[in-house]
Amino acid sequence: METFDPGRYLQFTPLPMDGYQIVVIGTGGTGGYVVRDIGRLIYALKEKKHIGLTLVDGDMVEQKNLIRQNFLEDDIGQNKAEVLAERYSAAYGITIDSVAKMIDCESLRVILGEIQREGKIPIVVGCVDNNEARRNIRKAVEDSHYYWVDSGNEEKSGQVIMSMTNALTDIRKKIPDVIDLYKEISDPAKDPKTVVSCAERAERDIQNIFVNLTAATHVMNFLNVIINCKRTFIHGVRFNISGASTPHYVER
């Protein structure tokens, strides 16, 4: 088991850039709760930091989504990203952009390129339910200055991994991302033959809502570390809904 070494940590410092743009990819199970809490974070820091928010999702709200996702009956038939962008823009008096389509590598590169041309640092928050999407995110961010927080979960457990390019830290080695840590993600041959969405798991009563809420809390913890320039000894966590968690410590 990996042991804690107090000499291994990341110290985030303010960057000479014009703020951050958070790009949430996937606004369903975990993403819907992450969006809610990012809106609150942006509102709380609006006098101190420039933080923008873009939501990306091609899915429409369905009846089955109401069981475990952050949607209401009036949202049924509307695009998920657009619904949440409108809701939390109004709730917090902030601007939230939405992209109502499934993202691929090239379209995400376009979004990230526009963000960087505006002088901002992108923070990609992946709340996707398949490994192909994770591979696309990695291809899109690998040539950029970026932060990437990936969230994934199964029925009663999950993981949240924070990574970034070495240009954004004072160390020379890239912080391992979710694909570095979970090698099977890199191999399409090892993808599940059938991808079961959060909504489908909820219908079959094999996923607990607290998996998504727990994942969202861990995502917000890492966003707080990045945006508020905190020190952290971990860059990821494996958790389950019984309360147990295993950290991924920063390497020396």
User: What is the band of 12 on the pLDDT scale with cuts at 50, 70, 90?
Assistant: confident
Q: Give the pLDDT confidence score for residue 218 in this predicted structure.
A: 97
* 10-249 CATH pick, 3.30.70.270, 3.60.15.30, 3.40.50.720, 3.30.930.10: 3.40.50.720
Q: Give the pLDDT confidence score for residue 113 in this predicted structure.
A: 92
84-109: average pLDDT: 95
Q: Give the pLDDT confidence score for residue 25 in this predicted structure.
A: 98
Three-state SS string over 71-98 comes to: CCHHHCCCEHHHHHHHHHHHHHCCCEEE
For 173, the token pair is 């080695």
Q: Give the pLDDT confidence score for residue 244 in this predicted structure.
A: 87
In this predicted structure, which of 114-123, 144-153, 163-172, 210-219 has the lowest mean pLDDT? 163-172
In this predicted structure, which of 3-17, 102-116, 124-138, 192-206 has the lowest mean pLDDT? 192-206
In this predicted structure, which of 118-132, 171-185, 203-217, 229-243 has the lowest mean pLDDT? 203-217
The pLDDT > 90 percentage for the chain reads 65
Domain residue ranges of the chain, discontinuous segments joined by +: 10-249
User: What is the band of 172 on the pLDDT scale with cuts at 50, 70, 90?
Assistant: very low
Residues with Cβ < 8 Å from 89, sequence gap 6 or more?
95, 96
Rounded Cα–Cα distance for residues 220 and 129 (Å): 19
- Asked if the model's pLDDT at residue 207 lies above 70, the reply is no
Q: Give the pLDDT confidence score for residue 7 in this predicted structure.
A: 59
Average pLDDT in the chain: 87
Q: Which residues face 157 on adjacent strands?
A: 240
> Is 161 in a helix, a strand, or coil?
strand
In this predicted structure, which of 4-13, 84-93, 115-124, 207-216 has the lowest mean pLDDT? 4-13
Rounded Cα–Cα distance for residues 96 and 53 (Å): 5
Q: Give the pLDDT confidence score for residue 192 in this predicted structure.
A: 77
